[in-house]
Amino acid sequence: MSSVADTFGVFEMPYIITSRDHMRRVRDELGESVFDAAARDRGYRILAYFENGFRHITNNTRPITVPEDLEGVKLRTPKGEWRVKMFKQYGANPTPMSFSDVFTALKTGVID
- Model pTM score: 0.70
When pLDDT is cut at 50, 70 and 90, the band that residue 93 belongs to is: very high
CA distance 95 to 88: 10
When pLDDT is cut at 50, 70 and 90, the band that residue 111 belongs to is: very high
Contacts of range 30-36, beta carbons closer than 8 Å, 24 or more positions apart: 33/7, 34/7, 34/8
Bigger pLDDT: 53 or 24?
A: 24
Q: Please say whether the dihedral angle defined by the alpha carbons of residues 73, 74, 78 and 80, taken in this order, is positive or negative.
A: positive
Q: Is the pLDDT of residue 74 over 90?
A: yes
- For residue range 36-69, what is the model confidence (pLDDT) as tens digits? 777 766 778 777 777 676 678 889 999 999 889 9
Percent of the chain clearing pLDDT 90 (strictly above): 35
What CATH number is given for 58-112 in this structure? Answer: 3.40.190.10
* CB-CB contact of 58 with 69 (8 Å): no
> Which residue ranges does the chain devote to CATH 3.40.190.10?
58-112
Quickly count: other Cβ atoms within 10 Å of residue 24's Cβ. Answer: 11
Quickly count: other Cβ atoms within 10 Å of residue 12's Cβ. Answer: 19
Q: What is the mean pLDDT of the chain?
A: 84
